[in-house]
Amino acid sequence: MFYWNSRNALLFKRLLFVVILADVKAFRQQPSADFEKDVITEIDGSSLLATRGDLLKEHSLVKPYEGSAWLMAGFALISNQFVRLTPDHPDRMGAVADVMPFNYRSWEVELTLKIYSPDLHKPGDGMAFWYVNEIDRQGRAFGFPDLFRGLGLFIDTKKHDFTDANHKHPFISATVNNGSMQYVHDALGTHLQLGGENGGCYASLYGDQYDPSKILIRYAERTLSVFVAEPGESNWKLCMESEGVILPRGYHFAVSASTGMKTSEIHEIISIRVFALESVSSEQDFEDERNVIFADQMAPERVYAGVFKKEFDFFGTILIFLLPIVVIALILTFIFVRVADSVSVRSKRLF
């Protein structure tokens, strides 16, 4: 017969504690990647109003854009309604960058932006979101250096004639770089993109000056996921997902844009909202991760083939074939006239 006494009660409490501790350990040992997949599935199709984590005002850029730690560069200008990175003129670039280093392991950044132009037949070049170690230089990668350390998310709006990339534009892709790989629009950019050769997505982000788009960049559990909401949409749509991504803490957020030599469009930022998905980490916690940049799912580096993919132009093709014939005919006509004149002069002298 079992008698309940103080000794048995103590044994029962110890047994209960062991069971609870085992359950907690089992819960903590569940694969974090599976948990992150569940979160990504939950975000896909969810409302734009739903948020996760704590809004970090000191790292965000929101109206009326006063007192923020974001600096402007290039042709960027600020108003009380938007931050315009580039005007509708060719060969322009602009950027905004957070001067404060970001010391959180997991985060979300929500971009509200507008891309529009009176002439949609000649758009270009596009925008980029950055999480990099240097923000004080300009370059050819949408206004930022094409050699960088960190993460680059690219919104390429220009349809290139010389490319072996087979996708529509605007095209969103991402890559991580340790400073040794040079980014090239639509060439090496899609060759080295996260998620492999089929990573990235097409998103119709073009609107007008009254209808913005949204992009959500999430980094948690070494997984980078990107969601988009085209103009007029009210729910997130998964664009890309890549596991095995390692990004250092202590880097800087930035957004840049550029226009082409003969193409142009307006790039505007309405807001940049930064959310922390966990508490800030101490300097000692991330000292060993400061220089680690890595990605598992990445398209292999290839030599850019430069395949000509321009649409067939009937009149241009006819002109190419007819032009040599016309030139040869003109040359022969000129020679014939000169010879005829020479013969005529000789005939007159004989008489």
- Give the pLDDT score at 237: 97
Q: Is the CB of residue 96 less than 8 Å from the CB of residue 71?
A: yes
Poorest-pLDDT segment among 109-113, 177-181, 299-303, 317-321: 299-303
Nearest to 267 by CA among 281, 250, 279, 255: 255
Amino acid at 182: Q
Answer for the pair 241, 40: CB distance below 8 angstroms, yes or no. Answer: yes
Query: CB count, 10 Å around CB of 289?
Result: 15
Backbone angles phi, psi at 18, to 5 degrees: -65, -40
Residue type, 100: M
Q: How far apart are CA 214 and CA 228, in angstroms?
A: 6
Asked if residue 126 lies in contact with residue 157, where contact means CB atoms within 8 angstroms, the answer is yes
Architecture of domain 69-276: Sandwich (2.60)
The reported pTM is 0.74
Give the residue, 12 or 94, on which the prediction is more confident. Answer: 94
pLDDT in tens, 216-236: 999 999 999 999 999 999 999
Question: Per-residue pLDDT tens for 157-187?
Answer: 876 654 545 678 889 999 999 988 888 765 5
* Segment 244-298, tens digit of pLDDT: 999 999 999 999 999 988 888 999 999 999 999 985 554 444 444 556 676 766 6
Q: Where are the domains of the chain?
A: 69-276
CA distance between the termini of the chain: 153
